[in-house]
Amino acid sequence: MSAPPRFAQRLVEVSAQQLAKFGSETPGIALAVLSSGDGFEIASHRADKAVSAKIAAMGSSLQALSEAITREAGLKDARRLIIESDNGCVLAMGIGGTNPSLSLVVVADKSASLGHLLWSAKICCTSISRAIAG
């Protein structure tokens, strides 16, 4: 007897479709991972399973940390966390109104435009949220 799946099949399918669209339409994305609030990978784009599982866990932690920092600082809501390096950036965004709580983590190379990346990631998050709600 096998264990029941961790996530609903619809969530996995919708997430995979949206990440594939996001990845194909946004230049510079090295990988994208959707994770649960407890750090488990739901879907990924352009990542092998070993890497995506690690990115999912770390990204979920980064999102939770950014929320805690903004709360302690008296700011309203953390929308995203951006880590920039000489070779690219990492973006972590929470997806509001979902149960379980979800985070999108994107790794982009230096060819990515940060503005375009943020805009496209927001659209991806909104699409996932709407698709699983309806």
Contact of 60 with 103, CB cutoff 8 Å: yes
Structure tokens at 77: 């809501």
Topology of domain 9-133 in CATH is: Beta-Lactamase (3.30.450)
Per-residue pLDDT of 59-115, as tens digits, reads: 999 988 998 999 999 998 888 999 999 999 999 999 887 777 899 999 999 999 999
Cα 104 from Cα 63, distance rounded (Å): 9
Per-residue pLDDT of 6-65, as tens digits, reads: 788 888 899 999 999 999 999 999 999 999 989 999 999 987 888 999 999 999 999 889
Map out the domains of the chain as residue ranges.
9-133
**Amino acid in position 93:** M
